[in-house]
Amino acid sequence: MGSVGAKDVPVLLSPEGLRIDGRRLDELRPLRIQAGPLHQADGSAFVEWGANKVMAAVYGPREVHPRHLQQNNKAVIQCKYNMAAFSVDERKRPGLDRRSQEISKVIAEAFESVVFAEEFPRTSIDVYIEVLQANAGTRCAGVVAASVALADAGIPMVDLVPSVAVGKIAGQIALDLKKEEDNFGEADLPMALVPQSGRLVLLQMEGHMTPDELSKALDLGVVGCKAIYEKMKQALRDRYTVDPVATGAA
Amino acid sequence: MGGKVYASVLGLLTTKPPFLQVLPLSGRYIPKPDDVVIGTVTDCQGTFWLLDIGAPRWAPLHMTGTPWNVEIGETEKFLRVRDSVIVRVENLDPTGRIGVTMLGDGLGKLEGGTIVTVSPARIPRVVGRGGSMIETITRHTGAQVAVGQNGRVWINGTPDAILRASEALRLIEDQAQRRGLTERVESYLVSTSSSNDRGPETAARESAHRDAPPQHVPPVGPADERIDPESVGPGPDEY
Amino acid sequence: MTAEVTAEIRTAHILDLAGEGKRLDGRGPDEYRRVQVEPGFVTTADGSALVRIGDTAVLAGIKLEPGKPFPDTPNAGVLTTNAELIPLSSPVFEPGPPQPGAIEVSRVVDRAIRAAEAIDLTRLCVTPGEKTWVCYVDLHVLDHSGNLIDTAMLAGVSALAHATVPAKRFGIAESDYPLDLQHVPVECTFVRLGDALVVDPTFDEEQAAQGRITIATDETGRVVAMQKGLVGAFSPDDVREVVRRALVHGDRLRIAARGGTA
């Protein structure tokens, strides 16, 4: 648990309450969101969060391929989360893997809760998330990027969906784990919030926590999500701010 | 919900009491009945064609919705994949099926010219109040123009006319939210007309450089210029 | 946003313009779009570069790992190139196994790197017959607005030029060292539009094209690879012409590979 002197295990929390990157327990890593960086996609977003670099693109609503997946009364939301081969320290072989498939499903379900899919029967809204550089919390960064991309694509939704992972390091509940904290910490809890309703549409947990710790983690996560929400809104506003130098230059 | 109104898409909020309107800034074209749209044939079946009109679904054009005498199985003789047409949206059913027809004035197969795409949200600006903007473009270029509500614009004429009209559309798309757009477009068209020293190729080359605003267009205003809600979408009293 | 089906009148218009030496975006037949190279974009890779040519964007990542050499080349390192045409980058790509287009891009880029001997593969050998460095070149297409080959090639070469062999991390040597390219190949792609041969085609120009030809050159002025693609034909004089033009463009692209804008 981050004991001093143990080989290869870093000290996750200093006596002063500082984490290995100097953050306090309730601080987010630096987060930068850019809406609309891609030209082909209907909507897109690029997120740089700590050392994560994640690109998301949305196509749709559009015709469903393959056709048999069509739903008569609403759009299907298909999500594909993928990590680039060079995004992790040990090269990841290209192609489907079980972890990516699970994450894709969980993220698609999160968006199904907020997108007004009934407005577009028999269509597909395709969400693609590419992790270009990974450092823990990639599925949360993916949700943030995809949410902004959906808004950028003009897809009607109840709300944007901020997301963050809360964890437990050195026995303390901490917000937004980075890689070492995720690897050597005691619990990891990714979540995604719909600010308007105050409800969670993505929730996973791995590790061990007491019910009290879990309760504290949920509250901390909600606070983190609200801060991220503001950044997401700003990124979309910035997209449409009139700038004489940038006008015409994408 | 709970007495409050929420916007479900990113857009500009305008108030023309008692109306509140959110004009979407982005998104695919959402068809409305009576919209005239330009589409491209993506599939040819025995009794109908499927058109890509930039909407969430392809639109079926039935053989009876054309002025031609089409026999079953002979649809390909009249329209093939990649042909372009101008049609009118007739009906939308709850399953999302977009019925279109080619029967009517100004509708039919498009021959020659080219298609330029702009964001559907910009179309009202492309047309202008009472058609003023599109009239300005056709008057200065001599081009034939057909505007689809789905953001597709057909332009026909000399290569020079097509180039300048396309560039005018690009200007509108990039700067639609600024005031003084009509003057800027007119200024561009006048400065690039063939009676001017500067050849159309040079003008096009200059405006192809996206780094700087086109040289012959008056400089744009300060960065904190407010977005003009009048410039986006029709008001309740227009069209 | 590109429509999935390109209207025939649009491709006809592109051909008409080409007949007059003009292009849709106002470029000349021998003009590249704006080239931007950002080396080191991804720090988890041993080398990387994000390259944009116009609106097309490809991210290349290099990963070096110890592995076994091939039996027939016991003294050489292993180089393998893979291009991913992910659906994120275009409405025309579907998820699933690599399409022929992806495989062609991978192989054309790989061929040029190999033929130019960009990397001295014998330098990658650790223990002959037993241990060698395997160099993975992964090309991730992010935005497809035409000319994936030139963009992917430039990204791959720039990433290699800025790559470090992680010898220390894998306990093979005392410290990491730069990969060091001995040759710098780049690729130039032309398409035939009517009688005109135009360089750096956009997506729409590729749809209208009646043939495509790619010439790879290195910094010594050698031609190291060629590929004809799409349906169409080129005369030997056509080939001589594009080789001549490719040599000029190649030098400019090589400068860009170091990083910056061209």
Q: List the single range of A172-181, B194-203, C74-83 with lowest mean pLDDT.
A: B194-203
Average pLDDT over residues A190-199: 96
Phi, psi of C78, deg, nearest 5: -110, 130
B84 touches chain C (CB under 8 A): yes
Rounded to a whole number of angstroms, the distance from the CA of B184 to the nearest CA of chain C is 20
Look at residue B21 in the predicted model and tell me its pLDDT. 63
> How far apart (Å, rounded) are the C-alpha atoms in residues B49 and A203?
45
pLDDT, chain C, mean: 93
C111 in A contact zone (CB under 8 Å): no
Q: Is C71 helix (H, G, I), strand (E, B) or coil?
A: coil
pLDDT band at B50 (very low <50, low <70, confident <90, very high): very high
| B28–chain A Cβ distance below 8 A for any pair | yes
Residue C3 has pLDDT above 80, yes or no: no
Q: Of A128, C151, C54, which Cα lies nearest the Cα of B208?
A: C54
Closest residue of chain A to B9, computed from CA coordinates:
A156
For residue A84, pLDDT beyond 50: yes
Q: Which of A155-169, A207-221, B123-137, C141-155 shows the lowest mean pLDDT across its residues? A: B123-137
Name the token pair of A31. 């987060």
Task: Label residue B231 by pLDDT band (50, 70, 90).
Answer: very low
Q: Is C19 helix (H, G, I), strand (E, B) or coil?
A: helix
- Give CA–CA dist A19/A8, Å, rounded: 16
DSSP state of C174: S
- Chosen for mutation from A59, A63, A124 (greatest number of chain B CBs closer than 10 Å) is A63
Average pLDDT, chain A: 92
In DSSP terms, A163 is beta-bridged to A192
For residue C74, the distance in angstroms to the closest alpha carbon of chain B comes to 51
Of the given ranges (A1-5, C49-53, C123-127, C139-143), which has the lowest mean pLDDT? A1-5
In this structure, of A127-131, B117-121, B147-151, the range with the lowest mean pLDDT score is B117-121
Contacts of C22 in chain B (CB under 8 A): 159, 163, 201, 204
Between positions 14 and 73 of A, the ones with CB within 8 A of B are: 42-43, 60-63, 72-73
Q: How confident is the model at residue B3 (pLDDT cuts 50, 70, 90)?
A: low
Assess B4–C contact: CB distance below 8 Å, yes or no.
no
In chain B, what residues touch C17 (CB-CB under 8 Å)? 159
What tokens were used for A6? 């143990």
Nearest CA to CA, how far is B98 from chain A (Å)?
11
Q: Using CB atoms, which residue from C44, C86, C90 is nearest to A133?
A: C44
Confidence label for B52 from pLDDT (cuts 50, 70 and 90): very high
Report the share of chain A in percent with pLDDT over 70.
94
Q: Is the peptide bond before A244 cis (omega within 30 degrees of 0)?
A: no
Give residue B5's pLDDT band: very low, low, confident or very high (50, 70, 90).
low
On the question of a cis peptide bond just before residue B17, with omega within 30 degrees of 0, the verdict is: no
Name which of A18-22, B69-73, B92-96, B233-237 the model is least confident about: B233-237
Q: Which of A39, A41, A133 sits opposite C42 (nearest CB)?
A: A133
C45–A86 CB contact, under 8 Å = yes
The more confidently predicted of residues B16 and A161 is: A161
Burial class (CB in 10 A: 0-12, 13-18, 19+), C15: middle
In chain C, whose CA is at the least distance from the CA of B110? C9
Question: Is pLDDT at B234 greater than 90 in this prediction?
Answer: no
ipTM greater than 0.90, yes or no?
yes
Nearest one of A194, A162, A193 to A45, comparing CA atoms:
A162
- Give the pLDDT score at B155: 97
Residue B206 has pLDDT above 60, yes or no: no
> Which member of A61, A242, A243 has the closest CB to residue B28?
A61
Name the H helices within C20-178: 100-115, 148-161
Mean per-residue pLDDT for C233-247? 96
The H or E element that residue C246 is part of is helix C236-257
Q: Quick one: DSSP state of residue A117?
A: G
Evaluate if residue C197 carries a pLDDT over 50. Answer: yes
B216 band by pLDDT with thresholds 50, 70 and 90: very low
Confidence of residue B7 (pLDDT cuts 50, 70, 90): confident
Q: Which two tokens stand for residue A13?
A: 């929390």
Owner of token pair 């004991």: A3
For position A96, what pLDDT does the model report? 86
Listed in sequence order, the DSSP H helices in chain B are: 123-127, 132-141, 159-175, 181-191, 200-208
The answer to whether C3 contacts B207, with C-beta atoms less than 8 Å apart, is no
3-state secondary structure string across C118-162: CCCHHHHEEECCCEEEEEEEEEEEEECCCCHHHHHHHHHHHHHHC
The pLDDT of residue B207 is above 70: no
The predicted-structure confidence for C108-131, as pLDDT tens digits, reads as follows 999 999 999 999 999 999 999 999
For residue B20, the model assigns a pLDDT of 65
Nearest CA in chain B to A239: B25
Number of other residues whose CB lies within 10 A of the CB of residue C3: 19
Q: What is the mean pLDDT of residues A91-114?
A: 95
Contact B25 A240 (CB under 8 A): yes
Which pLDDT does position C2 carry in this prediction? 45
| Contact between B117 and C203 (Cβ < 8 Å) | no
Place of tokens 């491209």: B40
End-to-end CA distance of chain A: 48
**Residue A105 pLDDT greater than 80, yes or no:** yes
Asked if A64 has any chain C CB less than 8 Å from its own CB, the reply is no
SS3 B168: helix
* Å between C178 CA and nearest CA of chain A: 18
Cross-chain residue pair A154–B96, CB shorter than 8 Å: no
Q: Mean of the pLDDT values across residues C192-221?
A: 96
- Quote the pTM value: 0.89
Pairwise pLDDT comparison (B40 vs B1), residue with the higher score: B40
CA separation for the pair C48, A26 (Å, rounded): 33
Residue C9 buriedness (CB in 10 A; 0-12 / 13-18 / 19+): buried
Residue B222 has pLDDT above 90, yes or no: no
**Reduced to 3 states, what is the DSSP secondary structure of residue B210?**
coil
Q: What is the mean pLDDT of residues C85-92?
A: 92
- Top pLDDT among B23 and A136 is at A136
pLDDT at B17: 62
What phi and psi, each to the nearest 5 degrees, are found at residue A100? Answer: -65, -35
The pLDDT assigned to A7 comes to 58
Tell me if C27 and B113 make a contact (CB, 8 A cut-off).
no
Which residues in C lie closer than 8 A to residue A250 (C-beta atoms)?
55
Residues of C within 8 A of A126 (CB-CB) are: 87
